[in-house]
Chain A
């Protein structure tokens, strides 16, 4: 794929969301232009959350697939991003 698109599902007041945001900012530093992060506020974009079946935040979708619910370990998140970058079509 060479690139990854991360949808970071969050909401205002969500306890775990800042930790995920910080983690993704750090990983952006490692992955550079290969990584695009979009913050999706589920209180605003309810349709997107419902399409993915997001019932709680934080949640992370990578290239359209919901991969994590709750705050993941940074290594697990990095592995998931790498796996997607190296994945064959």
Chain B
């Protein structure tokens, strides 16, 4: 057997103030670490990550001639880079510096916190394992590759557009893939946005219009990402462009085909099920691209082989019933997932009668009813009889902060309920009575508390309670419920013409499938999981793939914009060096199947 060259390994045990030192005996851990094969030096630091702590490590590397380092402190996702840079400065290859997390067993608030004896034993064996790993570790071969100067953004909502525009302005070629026939996402359908009550499509339009004409942006609407392979700097992406049956180059968006189409169907997407559209349709006036699209499932020609009225009517011969799905292959250096959210379907909350009682709707549906370009042209009319409601009850936290549905707070529901109450009081039905039944009003944000106060000043009434079961009068379709109001200490019977449920935001459909395609992990609620919830909120477990907006968790528009810019900045930081270093195994993954030298 060839003789093994002796490694000199230093172990540095961090107190992390009292976070570690308060939960196990550091002296004993120092002594036990000295006994591990290969360990030449052991020291303890009050805070290893501090300037003093790092200087002590560097001093020991020089004085003790260490060539490998193990730091026993906190999570590698938090500080491994810190200690690798520290070691590199003292002449140690970063790969030969390791960090193990012993704090998880000692720190108050950690789910794995245990008693001092158990913490000691766990830490001892973790250090032994890490020392052995470092002692035997060879250098991971790295390869330098040329990075593609292009980015894929998945999702054409406000977050995706912001990230895409930022990067396109920096000179990257950006592909924005949107599943629907238009970009704009949920924001385009919100009518107004808090806390300014600006017209949502109006303030979104500069971004959608710019994305449409930007020389560095390619919009792929009606399209889905089907597969992704490769690695940071060089991802190969397969995109399926679903057929519109309309030639994008020829269609002028005049709408004559839509007028002639004889088939009307419920518009589930752009009118939230409260309006109708034709089988050939343009999603809404500010659609980008403003081009028609045929819904083959409801088109007479596709279903029964008759009609083709749209084709006869089109002045530019844009209709193409033979159009097929098109597979597009692109190469990109980085990917940003901005797939947004869906509104929680409240049907399982049977006590509220959604789906059974026509006058129980969701806030997203209310937004569509209030929109002057929506299915009722901005008139607030009850779905059951088309009459104006005199009393409206909004119920907060439907499917949010609820152990039986989604335990998390959905972040935006308090504010959009206030927004809709304001719009109704100020612009639509000033005489309507509005009650908001809430658990807590969460109005954290710039100008939000003032917005809440303004809503109260408009006469909107707030009841801190969740209503009991809603009962419908079968003749009038009016609704009634009982609410235990703790402020006045008695049970109120509340009658309403319209009930609006402030539903949770949940991951958009397809998130699970996309996570498998990208190899990006999801959190416990199904949103994309960030690398670190505080310090690396837009990075993921896959280098070169970033997340932003509600794809990462419920958030409002300003926060989505901030995250989009952060994701764009991360992608730029990675790709602006035209060559990047990655583990060689990533470059030749296929060759590894049978073993590698």
Contact = CB atoms under 8 A, between A and B. Distances in A.
Interface of A: 1-5, 7, 36, 38, 42-43, 45-53, 55-56, 63-70, 72, 76-77, 79-80, 85-89
A46 B138 contact: no
Contacts of A53: 231, 582-583, 585-586
Contact of A1 (B4, B531, B541): B4
29 contacts: A1-B4, A5-B132, A5-B133, A36-B129, A38-B129, A46-B521, A49-B541, A50-B542, A51-B95, A53-B231, A53-B585, A53-B586, A55-B542, A63-B137, A64-B95, A64-B136, A64-B137, A65-B140, A65-B141, A66-B140, A66-B592, A67-B595, A68-B596, A69-B593, A72-B593, A72-B594, A77-B595, A86-B1, A89-B5
Q: What 6 pairs across the A-B complex have the smallest Cβ distances?
A: A53-B583, A64-B137, A53-B586, A47-B76, A46-B541, A66-B585
Contact of A50 (B541, B592, B596): B541
B486 interface: no
A63 B138 contact: yes
A4 B136 contact: yes
A43 B2 contact: no
B42 to A, nearest CB: 21
Contacts of A85: 1
Interface string B1-12: 111110000000
Given A65-B138, A72-B594, 19 more contacts: A3-B132, A5-B137, A36-B129, A38-B133, A45-B76, A47-B76, A50-B542, A51-B95, A51-B140, A55-B542, A56-B519, A63-B136, A64-B138, A64-B139, A65-B596, A66-B140, A68-B596, A69-B593, A87-B2
A5 to B, nearest CB: 4
Interface of B: 1-5, 76-77, 80, 95, 129, 132-133, 136-141, 231, 519, 521, 531, 541-543, 582-583, 585-586, 589, 592-596
B592 A69 contact: yes
A2 B1 contact: yes
B136 A1 contact: yes
A80 B595 contact: yes
A3 B141 CA distance: 20
A79 B543 CA distance: 31
A86 B1 CA distance: 7
A76 B5 contact: no
Contacts of B593: 68-70, 72
A11 to B, nearest CB: 9
B140 A64 contact: yes
Contacts of A36: 129, 132
A37 to B, nearest CB: 10
A55 B137 CA distance: 20
Main secondary structure of the interface of A (DSSP, over half): mixed
B512 to A, nearest CB: 13
Contacts, number: 97
Nearest to B143: A53
Given A5-B137, A50-B543, A63-B138, A69 B129 contact: no
A65 B95 CA distance: 11
A56 B2 CA distance: 34
Contacts of B132: 3, 5, 36
A62 B541 CA distance: 22
Contacts of A49: 541
Contacts of A80: 595
B596 A66 contact: yes
B453 to A, nearest CB: 44
A52 B138 contact: no
Contacts of B586: 53, 55
Contact of B592 (A3, A46, A68, A88): A68
A3 to B, nearest CB: 6
Contact of A55 (B95, B138, B231): B231
Nearest to B531: A46
Contacts of A87: 2
B580 to A, nearest CB: 12
Contacts of A43: 521
A24 to B, nearest CB: 15
Contacts of B80: 47
A51 B596 contact: no
A77 B593 CA distance: 11
Contacts of B585: 52-53, 66, 69
Nearest to B96: A64
Nearest to B128: A36
Contacts of A38: 129, 133
Contacts of A50: 541-543
A2 B37 CA distance: 14
B94 to A, nearest CB: 9
Contacts of B141: 65
Given A42-B541, A43-B521, A88 B2 contact: yes
Nearest to A55: B519
Contacts of A66: 140, 583, 585, 592, 596
B77 A47 contact: yes
Nearest to B129: A38
A47 B542 CA distance: 10
Contacts of A77: 595
A77 B596 CA distance: 11
Given A47-B77, A53-B585, A55-B519, A67 B596 contact: yes
A34 to B, nearest CB: 11
A78 to B, nearest CB: 10
A22 B132 CA distance: 22
Contacts of A68: 592-593, 595-596
A39 B64 CA distance: 32
A38 to B, nearest CB: 6
B4 A89 contact: yes
A67 B138 CA distance: 12
A31 to B, nearest CB: 13
Nearest to B582: A53
A52 B4 CA distance: 24
Contacts of A1: 2, 4, 136
A51 B595 contact: no
A30 to B, nearest CB: 17
A5 B593 CA distance: 19
